[in-house]
Amino acid sequence: MSNTQTLREWLLTETPTSRRHAKISAFYHGWLTLRSNTMAMIGLGILVLMLFVAAAAPLLAPHDPFTQDLGNRLAPLWSDGHVFGTDSLGRDILSRLIYGTRITLYIVTLVTLIAPVAGLLVGTVSGYVGGWTDTVLMRITDIFLAFPRLVLALAFVAALGAGIENAVIAISLTAWPPYARIARAETLTIRSSDYISAIKLQGAGPIRIITKHIWPLCISSLIVRVTLDMAGIILTAAGLGFLGLGAQPPSPEWGAMISEGRRFILDHWWVATVPGLAIFTVSLAFNLLGDGLRDVLDPKAGD
Amino acid sequence: MSMLNVKNLNVWFGKRQQRVDAVRDATFEVARGESFGLVGESGSGKSTILRAITGLAPNWSGQLSIDGNPVPQKRPKAFYKQVQMVFQDPYASLHPRHSVDQVLGETLQLHGFRDIDNRVVKLLDDVGLGQKFRFRYPHQLSGGQRQRVAIARALAPEPELLLLDEPTSALDVSVQAEILNLLTDLRADRNLTYLMVSHDLSVVGHMCDRLAVMKSGEVVDILSVAALRSMEASHPYTRQLFEASL
């Protein structure tokens, strides 16, 4: 029978024959839902393109991003050999943008690996265990929330020393409290539900309940929040760069490029605008994809 | 030997001024292989007794014993192999992100079974769901199908005592009959003991051998189903309840 079945039928079957088959089938269904969402596909396309650009930066960049050419500084858009012009030191903006993709991806990936995971951990433990644990963890969260984000990040970077890695740590330290709050709120509604009672009656311990039963339900709202925060993360990194505490010159970080171009914004607007547009595009892509992913990850909205 | 013995059970919620006594001094006994009903109006503490037996309501005092062994405050794993519960609302008792296979597989794994694949298949057959439901998610199932999955989950550890918390009240009438028949068949096949909570006297009359009547946290009367059928109630509240359900 499997010989006459097409791959598509095998993937869309109502009666999977094995656990692996069911998983692949569920994945394919998710993919179909995502694919039917045009906006999410645009977002995904931009991000895939960005990944490709970051990977192939040396092949794609027309110039070395660090080579200065003071005779040809602040060249306008579409000038000879410099599609996006040059900056105040005569460096090719397009090449710097292409190499900057790597830094942006690096920051975003690290922060999204640290902050939501830390928030999820703190929030779910706090919400599930309750009592004193909850009080202590939530007051710590409140303390972090009470400071303006950039100011707190500044303090951390000042303590840890300048550099991209420390900027990432500082941003993560300031970004986790909202995730903890969301995860705790979700946990409070989940923990008293019958399906948690049911698994308790099978003798499951708190660790299993939190990781296998509560986390999967918190993740979709966290993903949405993370994708919405992406722009903020990129901008905080840029802000730290601007203050000399994040990416160090001559590193082609997009935020640092904007703050560098800020000085010439009236006469040479493209120097700041082009990296600004890049940040805008990537943030938009993350938002679009995040919305689409939420639809996929929420099986109740499935049909 | 009685399967379940409840003696002077008190269950309360909240502390000090906010303390609410949900169950007061409840005493009854369920024999092995018997089907025992708990009836009463909403808020009379029927479900709370079940939650106290399983440990879901942590504040209780009195004596509980299963098969002659007293139940400690902290339930050991072996307890859950002996006693299982089916919840009232099948829409709330299944994890929305777990497929039927995951629900049953995890339960079997927690109870230390080895041949999980075969057992999942067998459980699904036993509750009248075929193989094609194995990898479905709860939102792809009807209410009755969900309740069958919940029953399969409760049966997975091969318990001796099954606590049924109004297992059909969230289902429509035709499905109710199916589930009740399934429960009757399972009890005969597996020699189970049932403790069933219901506010529907006809369901209790169909399913149970004896029943206890509860009113505002207290067991006011214990009688046989024969007495229920012939409307011979000694206690005035029981009579009132019978008349109201006619």
Alpha-carbon distance of B168 to A131, in angstroms, equals 35
The residues spanned by each domain of chain A are 30-58+89-301
Are the beta carbons of B95 and B163 closer than 8 angstroms? no
A:B CB pairs within 8 Å: 74
Over range A80-109, report the average pLDDT. 87
Nearest partner of A300 among B66, B216, B91, B96, judged by Cα? B96
* Chain A: closest CA distance from residue B91 (Å): 9
Return the residue of A nearest to B89 by Cα.
Answer: A194
Min Cα distance A132 → chain B (Å) is: 17
B56·A197 Cβ contact <8 A: yes
Chain B closest-CA separation from residue A10 CA (Å): 14
- Which CATH superfamily does the domain covering B2-244 fall into? P-loop containing nucleotide triphosphate hydrolases (3.40.50.300)
Q: Which residues of A touch B156 (CB under 8 A)?
A: 202
**Å from B142 to nearest chain A CA?**
13
Chain A residues with CB under 8 Å of B107 CB are 199, 202
- In this complex, do A19 and B101 lie within 8 Å of one another by their Cβ atoms? yes
ipTM of the complex: 0.87
Tell me the pLDDT of chain B (246 aa) as tens digits: 789 999 999 999 988 888 888 999 999 999 999 999 999 888 888 899 999 999 888 889 999 999 888 998 888 888 999 999 999 999 899 998 888 999 999 999 999 898 998 999 999 999 988 888 888 888 889 999 999 999 999 999 999 999 999 988 888 888 899 999 999 999 999 999 999 998 888 888 888 999 999 988 899 889 888 888 887 777 888 888 888 876
CB contact under 8 A, A216 and B97: yes
The answer to whether A20 contacts chain B (CB < 8 Å) is no
Q: What angle do CA A302, A38, A285 make, to 5 degrees?
A: 105
Interface probe with A: pick from B77, B87, B132, B135, most Cβ of A within 10 Å: B135
A13 → chain B, closest CA residue: B132
Chain A residue whose CA is closest to B151: A198
Q: Does A159 touch chain B (CB under 8 A)?
A: no
Query: Minimal Cα–Cα distance from A30 to chain B, Å?
Result: 13
> How many angstroms separate the CA atoms of A241 and A163, rounded?
9
Q: Is residue A73 over pLDDT 50?
A: yes
User: Taking a C-beta distance cutoff of 8 angstroms, is the pair A34, A296 a contact?
Assistant: yes
**Interchain contact, B101 vs A217, CB within 8 Å:** no
Q: What is the mean pLDDT of residues A287-292?
A: 84
Those residues of chain B whose CB sits closer than 8 Å to some CB in chain A are 54-56, 77, 80, 84-85, 87-89, 92-99, 101, 106-107, 110-111, 131-132, 134-135, 137, 139-140, 150, 153, 156-157
Q: Are A172 and A111 in contact, with CB atoms under 8 Å apart?
A: yes
pLDDT > 70: what percent of chain A? Answer: 96
Sheet with B2-13, strands from edge to edge, namely B20-31, B2-13, B60-66, B69-70
Q: Taking CB atoms and an 8 Å cutoff, what residues of chain B touch A21?
A: 135
* pLDDT value at residue A300: 55
Q: Is A267 on the interface with B (CB under 8 A)?
A: no
User: Cβ contact (<8 Å) for A195 and B93?
Assistant: yes
pLDDT at A60: 86
The three-class DSSP label of residue A92 is: strand
pLDDT reported for residue B38 = 93
The answer to whether the beta carbons of residues B101 and B119 sit under 8 Å apart is no
What are the tokens at B151? Answer: 């029953």
- Which residues in chain B have Cβ-Cβ distances shorter than 8 Å to A15? 131-132, 135
Return the amino acid letter for A236: T
Report the predicted TM-score, pTM, of the whole model to 2 decimal places. Answer: 0.82
User: Rounded distance, CA A112 to CA A189, Å?
Assistant: 25
User: Taking CA atoms, what residue in B is nearest to A299?
Assistant: B97
SS3 A107: helix
Q: At what angle do helices A164-191 and A215-242 cross, to 10 degrees?
A: 150
CA atoms lying within 13 Å on the CB side of residue A12 = 8
Partners of residue A300 in chain B, C-beta under 8 Å: 96, 139
What is the CB neighbour count within 10 angstroms for residue B1? Answer: 7
Class of domain A30-58+89-301: mainly alpha
Largest CA-CA distance found in chain A, in angstroms, rounded? 76
